[in-house]
Amino acid sequence: MEWLYRFAIGFKRIKALAVEYGANFSEAEALAKRIGSVLGKVPLYLTAANPVIGTHTGPNILIVSVLAEE
């Protein structure tokens, strides 16, 4: 989770960010809150990962997707 946190806040200009999870909602929620406290008004989405992704990664997948400005 620390690596994902540092990855997310390492972008200079972020348009939006998403934290996606498998069966570990509480970890994803904690990560999203931590990232959100640093990024302020950047839209941050917390969603369940697609079952197809979970099939290939396992139930404890945690994903951070960043839409950065150019």
The tens-digit pLDDT sequence of the chain (70 residues) is 999 999 999 998 999 999 999 999 999 999 999 999 999 899 999 999 988 887 888 888 999 999 998 7
Q: Which of helix, strand or coil describes residue 45?
A: strand
Annotation: CATH topology of 2-68: Hypothetical Protein Tm841; Chain: A;domain 3 (3.30.1180)
Cβ neighbours around 16 below 10 Å, total: 12
pLDDT at 18: 97
Contact 53, 61 (CB under 8 A): yes
Q: What is the pTM of this model?
A: 0.88
How much is the pLDDT for 70? 75
Residue 21's beta-bridge partner residues? 48, 62
Tokens of 49: 């990962």
